[in-house]
Structure 1
Amino acid sequence: MNRGEREAAVRRIMERGVAAPVPPDLYGDAVRRGDRLLRHRRLVRRVLWLLVWAAAVAFAVWAAGAQPWVESPSETTPPLTGW
């Protein structure tokens, strides 16, 4: 069955006007699946925020110790001795 035949079949079904029977437990299954998806998304979001905060703290600790904004002393000039 190609796409055109499928579309025609769907149109015929929809034009009948008779609603197809829905299983009685479909609503409960949909609610349970939706709750599970929301819990999963919430958990993933919290884990990602935790990783972002951990990365920020790790960067702050590294920056405080390494002080990358301070220019390192130059070692190309020979020491002045014997004056």
Structure 2
Amino acid sequence: MNLAEREATVRRLLEREPPPVVPPDLYGEVVRRGGRMLRRGRAVRRLLWLALFGAVVVFAVWAATARPWVEPPSETTPLVTDW
């Protein structure tokens, strides 16, 4: 079905004298589904914030223990030249 056919179908539906009948339980179902979608989205956002917080804590603990900004100690001893 291309765009012109869809537009023609919609026009025919809208030009009918009595508007199409909407099922009576449609509103309740839409509200229920919308509420579920909102709760699911809120839960996903909370999980993402929790994962971000966990990553920050893990990075902070690693940085505090590994101290990557400190120069590592020398592996060899310097040569003794003044004997």
TM-score range, shorter chain: 0.7 to 0.9
Task: Please report the RMSD computed on the Cα atoms of aligned residues, expressed in angstroms.
Answer: 2.0
Under a length normalisation based on structure 2, what TM-score does the superposition of the two structures give?
0.82
Compute the displacement of 1:17 (Å): 5.4
The equivalent residue for 2:32 is: 32
The alignment-based identity, stated in percent, is 63
Q: What is the CA-CA distance between 1:3 and the residue it aligns to?
A: 2.6
Where has structure 1 moved over 4 Å in runs of 4 or more?
none
In 1, the alpha carbon distance for the partners of 2:75 and 2:22 equals: 81
Which position in structure 1 is the counterpart of 2:62? 62
Q: Which amino acid aligns with 1:32?
A: R
Q: How many residues align?
A: 82
Bigger relative contact order (CA 8 A; separation at least 6): 2
Give the Cα separation in 2 of the matches to 1:70 and 1:2: 66
1:13-71 C-alpha deviation (Å, 9 max, x unpaired): 22335321110000000010011111111111111111000000000000000111112
Greater mean alpha carbon deviation, residues 15-24 or residues 34-43: 15-24
Amino acid at match of 1:80: L
Once the two structures are superposed, the pairs formed by residues 11-22 of structure 1 within 5 Å of their partners are 11-16=11-16, 18-22=18-22
Q: Where do 5+ consecutive residues of structure 1 fail to align? A: none
Q: Give matches, 1:41-60, under 5 Å.
A: 41-60=41-60
